[in-house]
Structure 1
């Protein structure tokens, strides 16, 4: 039997259609080439994304440990140690985690972000890097993150406020980009609205920064909600 067929059989049918829909991260056609995307056309974007993520989370000196959920192949999970944070990775995709096992020397867990298998305050912070866009119940996911992460939540998001939105949706319409079919694109404003709903009654502050601007643009990061990508940090004060 072909390896592809064997691997597909290892994933229950219900899991292949997680949240009632087909997801690209349960398809080896996309998961096996995920790292190549970052090593190719996305390399420059990754550099600036990491810069603004570090800028935000480094201000909270309480954060020494972190759970990155939706870690995928651990592209970002492997990086946290470079800024002094010990990371653990979590994902629901066995295909992503099968690659992560060979790339990451830290702890990994396979689970659903809506039901994190950790006790309260297990980590200093939770991270969601280009994964939160795929959750059907984002309020529940944020509440779980706030339960498990004692000091804050760091998020890296594909921004809806970008000229590339038209290209993304056109690619989706013609079946040219499976990554965006089930994605919900947020802006800093709409994400904060969701966070406020999820964390009602808690004391927290939010800071965000945008990047993903054209190479010729005079700045590459700013506090204007326009750009391909934004990072946002929720700092718990209670």
Structure 2
């Protein structure tokens, strides 16, 4: 009853319709990863883990845009205690049955957490949807002690063109409002948001064709990239 009251009338965010407020999509979200996206998920986790585990200070993490907690459940596999937050009550309704940790219904532009509550903050395929990325990065810096990790759909990928073509024909509702980044364009936003801070940035790409000789590399090409901002 409580969740029904929260979700009543919710259809838009940032004055625009979003797929994650549509039960038709959120109820089947987990199935995507169990099917054709399973291989991609494995490599996404490898790239993210390879970066964040270099900082031994990180023991706790807040994942914003946690959705059904697909990645939130995974963090403990690499020794990190995770909390999830998301704006979509439909996604969190799914996650509540799959994840036994803490979850919060919240907007990343206004994070309801005290300064430096977590060692790190993570955005996994969700940062693409924020209308004010500078404000979100600054909020993440306020809440995180040691770093911010991003898992991003890469603009430097043939799949970017395919998604936009699908969208033009009304076949792909998931990326209509998404802004795709490259490593360089995301770094530019980070530098603008964190001007005056002392930090380093490292990134790596994956999402390459099966036949390609490597599946993770330091070139800015591939369907997915992981980027870690480490605070000094």
> Could you tell me which of 194, 205, 209 is aligned with 1:210?
205
Which residue is equivalent to 1:201? 196
> Could you tell me which of 156, 172, 182 is aligned with 1:161?
156
Cα offset, 1:144, TM superposition: 0.3
Give the 5 Å matches for 1:97-116.
97-116=92-111
Report SS of the residue matched to 1:96: helix
Cα offset, 1:164, TM superposition: 1.1
> Could you tell me which of 8, 11, 26 is aligned with 2:7?
11
> Could you tell me which of 129, 132, 137 is aligned with 1:137?
132
Cα offset, 1:177, TM superposition: 1.1
Distance 1:11 1:65 in 2: 29
Structure 2: any 5+ residue segments left out of the alignment? none
Distance 1:12 1:19 in 2: 17
Distance 1:16 1:137 in 2: 20
Contact kept in structure 1, 2:7 and 2:90, CA below 8 Å: no
Is 1:170 aligned to 2:165, yes or no?
yes
> Could you tell me which of 67, 74, 89 is aligned with 1:79?
74
Distance 1:53 1:212 in 2: 13
Cα offset, 1:16, TM superposition: 2.0
CA shift digits 1:190-234 (9 cap, x unpaired): 000000000001000000000000000000000000000000000
Report SS of the residue matched to 2:108: coil
Distance 2:167 2:187 in 1: 26
Which residue is equivalent to 2:228? 233
Which residue is equivalent to 1:182? 177
Cα offset, 1:10, TM superposition: 4.4
Which residue is equivalent to 1:127? 122
Taking structure 2 as the reference length, the TM-score comes to 0.97
> Could you tell me which of 76, 81, 87 is aligned with 1:92?
87
> Could you tell me which of 18, 28, 32 is aligned with 2:27?
32
Taking structure 1 as the reference length, the TM-score comes to 0.95
Give the length in aligned residue pairs. 230
> Could you tell me which of 4, 13, 16 is aligned with 1:21?
16
Tell me the C-alpha RMSD between the 2 structures.
1.1
Cα offset, 1:165, TM superposition: 1.2
Which residue is equivalent to 1:67? 62
Distance 1:175 1:28 in 2: 18
